[in-house]
Structure 1
Amino acid sequence: MLRKALDGLTVLDFTQIAAGPTATMLMADMGARVIKVEPHEGELGRTLGPAWVGDDSALYHGFNRGKQGISLDLKHPDSVAVVRRLVLQADVLVESMRPGVMARLGLGYEALSALKPDLIYCSISAYGQQGPYADRAGVDGILQADSGLMSLIGTPGAAPSKVQAPVVDVVTGYMACMAVLAKLHARTRDGQGGHLDVSLMNSALSLQQASLSSYLCDGKLPTRIGSAAPYSAPNEAFEAADGWLMVAAYNGNRWAVLCGVLGHPEWIDDPRFVSSAQRVVNRTAMVEALTEVFRTQPVSHWLKVLYDADILCSKVADYSDLLRHPQIADNGMLVQLSDPRHGAVRVPGFPVNSREAAQTPYAPAPAKGEHSRSVLRDFAFSDVEIEALLAKDALRCPA
């Protein structure tokens, strides 16, 4: 099963907040031993709330399940020496420092690959390891803006909006995990490690494959059109009597079927609506006509009518709806972490073969330095060495 696919793999995790932690969490979900290396005060993601689970944010728990935690002060030379010893037995290192920081600490790719040539070293940054913006820091919202993604989101005339979920961070984490897995496969052939350069900017551009490809083709800037798709219609949300529903009836004969079930067969041959392309051009008129009908009945009525007619549709759900969603209940994606400190903590689980994945318990996110002693013992540090590191405050363990 996928939850054991990476058994035996050791990953050193020098990341924080969302992009890097997503990548390493996925590796932990697939069975890798992920050792999260944090500063003594803990990574920034612990502070980003509300909501809270104990003293740490729910965000931290959502991105760091299944890892072991070790607390090191990387400004201390003894801590750097610890990392260099850990690297000798590691397969992968993932870091999300600003470019150049790890090198200044003596932990850059060149230094560590000299120690371990088959090390796979994955660097996650805002703009990449080279180029005029390489030194710039950036977070999800900044990259949603700078990549053009924010220009697509919202309604005409409204203030700029962004996707509230950190989609650029998360897709960057998936890109990084995918790159590491590809490099691991290559390493089985040539025995070589390598340096992977993964950026939020490139990942944000990849999210815009459809809209950016269209602009590169015709040079026309996209405009904000709310829930609609710029390349098809109807493919957007409509207001009903008690809420909103999303309808996609642009493909094949679905437009004709929709016109029939709404009681307006005359729209089928209306020159404004005769094709998806014409409906895109005349979207305002189409939306006004459909909305007038949809507002006459509640969402539940339209969902049944449209589903029975094989029209693609959905309620525009909120998170409370998700907890009652029968498919989500069945597929095992909302999982429970058994945290001895905080009790049950619920988070989204591993998304592939999710029912099978849910059969293997998920370990919680680590407390600050929770596994400092046990990890170093596993890496052949003696108790005398560990106590010396603790005495110098190069290493910390929880009280």
Structure 2
Amino acid sequence: MNEHKQSGGKTAVAGPLDGVRVLDLSSVVLGPMGTQVLADMGADVIKIEAPEGDLMRANGVVEHAGMSSIFLALNRNKRSVVLDLKDEQGAAALRALIPTCDVLVHNMRIGAIERLGFGYDAVARLRPDIVYCAAPGFGQDGPDRDKPAFDDIIQAACGFVGAASAAGAEPDYLPSLIADKTTGLAVANAVLAALFRRERHGEGQYVEVPMLETMAAFVLTEHMGGMMFPSSTAKAGYARLLEGGRKPVRTADGWISMLPYTERHWKAFFHDLGRDDLGERYQIASRRERNANIKALYGHLAELAPLRTTAQWMALCERLDIPATPIYRLEDLPGHPHLSAVGLFEESVHPAVGPIRQVRPTTRFARTPTAIRRPAPSLGEHTEEVLREAGVAPERIAALLEPIKPKPR
């Protein structure tokens, strides 16, 4: 059984990807989200950064320069190597690393990485069985293949913003980097599938995970609607979501998400309130009629909600086995009873930042557990270590490190 040292000196069983090495040329959120999944599962992820560092080192809450809250959240379990790939020395060092790696991930535009000399064909010549995963904004078979893409642009292009404004609200973005993060998870899935193929057949391959296509498919899962059937006159979209009805409701002292859903739920809910007449009015015994009345049904629930406190509604829902939760603000989550009980938040001392609280890997493996083995790296923290492992000569490493050494004041 393989073991390794966790941050803090504890010995832990290695994760399921122990022995896999990932060369991470990605930045910002999409790529780092995907490679962190692989890192949490035990892969040795080598994060290549330009001398100025990943842009996310400065985004979010920054209490220590270059180590923002977002960067810390996306880059644990990785090693940072600084290389200027526009410089021949830096490019040569990367070429020395490639044969030691099983996977390469990037989220650059394809033209940009080709100009650097690290497109798929060039990389495959150095490591023929490499799994090479590109995550551009747009698939390379379409007219937008060379366009820049950010989360906002993809949210707007994939139908997300349009669906949210279908009921007449002004278009707006979701307050989450949903396109970046969802595509990042798709990157991790794609890499795992390609590694499985390589394990079975001994061959690597080029993998493309384009943001727009990934997110359009994600949105249309429930919103294809009438578009699913060429002869249909029905509109696109899932009416239950687009036409509203289900939403958080105000109680006597706060807000709650309360979701009677089945006939049994509604019948028990109204009976407990002494309002069996409402069950008859909305014809809850018939799923078809209940769905037809859904907006009015949940509207009536919103009218009833202020009659009791959040705690009283929670007690009722618990007793009747109706899904419900108070509304949690972001800052409430560390104190969430369930999240606290399962130890989702881990506190540690980061060597460069000091005490931090972070979210542990959420997927559990019984035999090869995930873990936070090392903290998010300082810029270039592992440059010398990683290049030495790849057999780069000490004098070449020294020459690479010289431009990025802190200058004496």
TM-score normalised by L of structure 2: 0.88
Quote the offset at 1:273 in angstroms.
5.0
In the alignment, structure 1 residue 220 sits paired with structure 2 residue 230: no
8 Å contact 1:37–1:69 — kept in the other structure? yes
What's 1:11 paired with?
Answer: 22
What's 2:216 paired with?
Answer: 205
Inter-partner Cα distance in structure 2 for 1:298 and 1:354: 40
Q: What whole-Å deviation, never above 9, does each CA across 1:241-287 have from its counterpart, x for those lacking one?
A: 22221122222421212221232111222256554543443344323
Distance 1:354 1:184, change over 3 A: closer
Distance 1:381 1:332, change over 3 A: same
Quote the offset at 1:105 in angstroms.
0.9
In the alignment, structure 1 residue 259 sits paired with structure 2 residue 274: no
8 Å contact 2:14–2:369 — kept in the other structure? no
User: 1:366-381 counterparts in 2 under 5 A?
Assistant: 366-381=377-392
What's 2:123 paired with?
Answer: 112
What's 1:184 paired with?
Answer: 195
Inter-partner Cα distance in structure 2 for 1:356 and 1:321: 33
What's 2:332 paired with?
Answer: 321
Inter-partner Cα distance in structure 1 for 2:370 and 2:208: 34
Inter-partner Cα distance in structure 1 for 2:181 and 2:13: 20
Paired residues, number = 391
Aligned-partner SS, 1:236: coil
User: 1:300-379 counterparts in 2 under 5 A?
Assistant: 300-353=311-364, 360-379=371-390
Inter-partner Cα distance in structure 1 for 2:220 and 2:236: 14
Inter-partner Cα distance in structure 1 for 2:128 and 2:79: 25
Paired letter, 1:310: D
- The farther-off stretch of 324-333 and 202-211 is 202-211
Inter-partner Cα distance in structure 2 for 1:140 and 1:168: 5
Inter-partner Cα distance in structure 2 for 1:173 and 1:398: 33
Inter-partner Cα distance in structure 2 for 1:212 and 1:172: 19
Inter-partner Cα distance in structure 1 for 2:226 and 2:73: 36
Unmatched segments (≥5 aa) in structure 2: 1-11
Q: What whole-Å deviation, never above 9, does each CA across 1:366-390 have from its counterpart, x for those lacking one?
A: 1111111111111111211212333
Q: Name segments (4+ residues, structure 1) moved above 3 Å.
A: 154-157, 228-231, 233-236, 271-284, 354-362, 396-399
What's 1:268 paired with?
Answer: 279
Quote the offset at 1:208 in angstroms.
2.0
| % identical aligned pairs | 30
Distance 1:310 1:3, change over 3 A: farther
Alignment partner of 2:298 out of 287, 291, 296? 287
Aligned-partner SS, 1:381: coil
RMSD: 2.6
Unmatched segments (≥5 aa) in structure 1: none
Aligned-partner SS, 2:248: strand
8 Å contact 2:363–2:370 — kept in the other structure? no
Aligned-partner SS, 2:209: strand
What's 1:237 paired with?
Answer: 248
Distance 1:214 1:262, change over 3 A: farther
Paired letter, 1:157: G
Q: What whole-Å deviation, never above 9, does each CA across 1:300-320 have from its counterpart, x for those lacking one?
A: 110111111111111121123
Alignment partner of 2:145 out of 109, 115, 134? 134
What's 2:39 paired with?
Answer: 28
Distance 1:370 1:114, change over 3 A: same
Aligned-partner SS, 2:173: coil
Inter-partner Cα distance in structure 2 for 1:24 and 1:69: 13
What's 1:248 paired with?
Answer: 259
Paired letter, 1:379: A
In the alignment, structure 1 residue 143 sits paired with structure 2 residue 143: no
- The farther-off stretch of 174-183 and 286-295 is 286-295
- The farther-off stretch of 239-248 and 364-373 is 239-248
Q: What whole-Å deviation, never above 9, does each CA across 1:192-232 have from its counterpart, x for those lacking one?
A: 11111012212312432443232423541448x9xx7459x
